[in-house]
């Protein structure tokens, strides 16, 4: 268990805080044509970063905000232990945030649905009446690979004096995770870290992370 006061808990969203990749499901459901598959394949193969992928995907994403909201509400859920993890962390005075290379539209909606209030850093999805707009305020000005630069955020928190704990599962976490003091990883992130000799603690659900960080008897304010 960690006892330091100045700790920052950084949680990826799609596949980590959420049980599925909500962003890709949204794209697949509302894409105007199949060109999104080529974009996604290029991203998976490392031919383009998420920033460029989002620029291309915005052009093929159909639907309206109401339709997007209905889709998110109908078929996507948070990890059932997210609330407990957040309560445990905040009860100790830790900083907790969602750091996602996904879209803020569904992240805010899903968190609010479960009455979880957290800072969110992600690309902003909106609609101007004619089509989707994706704005990436957290992209790195020089690198420009990802829509949200996780590495720079972890380094920023470290510079502020925080001990950083990173929880993630995917390719978008591969730059940010190694910069953290402690890493919880699964799926593609775990594979990537293993190949590159970066140590991490494996997890399957956030219940595993809560147990590792706080023990069986510590449930925050519950």
pLDDT score of 149 more than 60: yes
Average pLDDT, rounded, for the chain: 94
- pTM of the entire predicted model: 0.93
What the block records as the tokens of 49 is: 């970063």
| Residues spanned by the domain of 146 | 7-214
Strand residue runs (E) in the chain: 7-11, 95-103, 120-127, 132-135, 163-168, 182-185, 201-202
CB atoms within 10 A of CB 161: 8
The answer to whether 82 touches 110, Cβ cutoff 8 Å, is: no
pLDDT of residue 5: 73
In a domain? residue 162: yes
In a domain? residue 93: yes
In a domain? residue 208: yes
Per-residue CA distances from 45 to 15, 49, 50, 186 (Å): 19, 10, 12, 19
Q: Which residues pair with 10 in a beta bridge?
A: 97, 166
Residue 3, classified by CB atoms within 10 Å of its CB into exposed (0-12), middle (13-18) or buried (19+), is exposed
Residue 76 belongs to domain with CATH number: 3.40.50.1000
Least confident of 44-53, 136-145, 163-172, 185-194: 136-145
In a domain? residue 136: yes
Which residues, including other chains, have CB under 8 Å from residue 14's CB and lie 6 or more apart?
A: 20, 21, 22, 23, 24, 100, 101, 102, 169, 170
% of the chain surpassing 90 pLDDT: 90
27 falls in which pLDDT band (50, 70, 90)? very high
Number of domains in the chain: 1
């Amino acid at each position: 268990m960690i006892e330091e006061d100045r700790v920052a808990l950084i949680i990826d969203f799609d596949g980590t805080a959420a049980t599925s990749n909500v962003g890709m499901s949204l794209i697949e459901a509302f894409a105007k044509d199949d060109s999104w598959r080529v974009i996604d394949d290029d991203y998976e193969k490392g031919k383009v970063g998420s920033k460029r992928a989002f620029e291309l995907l915005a052009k093929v994403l159909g639907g309206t905000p109401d339709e997007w909201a209905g889709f998110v509400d109908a078929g996507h859920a948070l990890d059932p232990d997210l609330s407990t993890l957040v309560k445990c962390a905040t009860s100790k005075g830790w900083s907790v945030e969602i750091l996602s290379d996904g879209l803020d539209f569904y992240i805010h909606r899903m968190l609010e649905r479960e009455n979880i209030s957290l800072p969110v850093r992600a690309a902003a999805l909106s609609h101007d009446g004619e089509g989707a707009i994706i704005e990436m305020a957290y992209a790195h000005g020089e690198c420009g690979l990802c829509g949200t630069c996780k590495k720079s955020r972890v380094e920023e928190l470290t510079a502020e004096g925080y001990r950083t704990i990173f929880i993630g599962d995917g390719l978008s976490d591969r730059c940010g995770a190694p910069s953290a003091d402690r890493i919880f990883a699964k799926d593609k992130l775990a594979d990537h870290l293993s190949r590159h000799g970066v140590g991490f603690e494996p997890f399957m659900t956030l219940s595993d992370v809560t147990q590792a960080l706080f023990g069986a008897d510590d449930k925050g304010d519950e």
